[in-house]
């Protein structure tokens, strides 16, 4: 049997109500015969694994729920194809787009299916997504594509080298987008229509889980461009200390001790930023 050049990785967690839809479409379109199809059951407590086992696809099972990103990591590590395609198992992504994505992977390091305006989206998440997009564009200094679309593909070697910085949670898509942009890889996009998920509601609630969103933003900043945060902060505090010192000199004929401390704090923050930037680059060092 010829080694497949494409591996399709699909994570699943408690999707017994909707997972048959995607499985039927994949087998109907003969993807399981043309490519390697890997489902990763992320510790489901329902009959998700049993349903997947009824179909002619590979299935890897986590004994416990580890998270969306962890499931993708497992699938990518098990994959043998040169290119990786990932999509959701909840019926939102139509497998009919897979061939278009694969065709674009010949010219791009990553390809993202960008959701059209008429695609289904949970409105309560949109504010959080816009905020994350603003931060991401500030860090990479360019416009972002659909940064957290779960329908995407990439060169297996490139994504494997980055798995050590990918989170185990829902932000795998966001982090991988920023990582590829930050490393200067080419990203292609094409429009897709996303339907409402089948079955249970999504576990991801951007505004309700506000603390997770804030932690994600901080993680992204510290991983990709900490100086974007530290440098302006240090300049502001240093300038504040100098202005306070000048004011104190004219008012009390002396440079206040508090102004000295504030100025030194600005200097320390700058050097902390340099250190954080070096650590960031070391963390992003490619690993095979």
What pLDDT digit, counting tens, does each position of 16-44 carry?
988 999 999 999 999 999 999 999 999 99
According to DSSP, the residues that pair with 115 across neighbouring strands are 192
Looking at the fold, whether 61 and 182 belong to one and the same domain comes out as yes
Q: Any idea how long the chain is?
A: 288
> The CATH number of the domain where 61 resides is what?
3.90.550.10
For residue 177, give the H/E element and its range.
helix 172-182
Residue 257 covered by a domain: yes
| pLDDT score at 119 | 73
| pLDDT score at 75 | 97
| pLDDT score at 264 | 95
Domain total in the chain: 2
Helix (H, G, I), strand (E, B) or coil at 61: strand
Residue 288 covered by a domain: no
Residue 184 covered by a domain: yes
Report which of 97, 143, 144 is spatially closest to residue 119, judged by C-alpha positions.
Answer: 97
Low-confidence ranges of the chain (pLDDT < 50): none
Stated pTM of the model:
0.82
Phi, psi of 42 (to 5 degrees): -90, 60
Looking at the fold, whether 163 and 245 belong to one and the same domain comes out as no
| pLDDT score at 210 | 55
Residue 145 covered by a domain: yes
Residue 10 covered by a domain: yes
Phi, psi of 260 (to 5 degrees): -60, -45
Looking at the fold, whether 219 and 112 belong to one and the same domain comes out as yes
Domain hosting 249: range is 227-283
């Amino acid at each position: 049997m010829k080694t497949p050049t494409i591996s399709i990785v699909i994570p699943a967690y408690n999707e017994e109500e909707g997972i048959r839809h995607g499985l039927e479409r994949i087998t109907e379109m003969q993807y399981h015969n043309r490519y390697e199809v890997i489902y990763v059951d992320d510790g489901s407590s329902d009959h998700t694994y049993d349903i997947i086992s009824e179909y002619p696809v590979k299935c890897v099972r986590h004994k416990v729920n580890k998270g969306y990103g962890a499931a993708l990591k497992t699938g990518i590590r098990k994959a043998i194809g040169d290119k990786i395609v990932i999509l959701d198992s909840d019926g939102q992504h139509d497998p009919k787009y897979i061939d278009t994505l694969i065709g674009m992977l010949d010219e791009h390091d990553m390809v993202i299916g960008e959701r059209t305006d008429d695609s289904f989206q949970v409105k309560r998440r949109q504010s959080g997504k816009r905020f994350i997009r603003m931060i991401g564009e500030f860090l990479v200094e360019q416009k972002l594509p659909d940064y957290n679309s779960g329908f995407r593909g990439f060169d297996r070697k490139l994504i494997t080298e980055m798995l050590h910085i990918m989170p185990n949670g829902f932000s795998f898509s966001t982090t991988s987008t920023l990582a590829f942009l930050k490393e200067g890889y080419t990203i292609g996009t094409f429009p897709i229509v996303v339907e409402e998920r089948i079955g249970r509601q999504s576990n991801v609630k951007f505004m309700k889980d506000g603390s997770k969103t804030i932690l994600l933003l901080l993680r992204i900043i510290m991983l990709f461009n900490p100086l974007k945060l530290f440098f302006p902060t240090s300049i502001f505090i240093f300038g504040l200390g100098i202005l306070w010192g000048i004011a104190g000199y004219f008012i009390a004929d002396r440079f206040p001790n508090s102004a000295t401390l504030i100025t030194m704090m600005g200097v320390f923050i700058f050097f902390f930023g340099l250190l954080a930037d070096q650590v960031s680059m070391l963390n992003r060092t490619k690993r095979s």
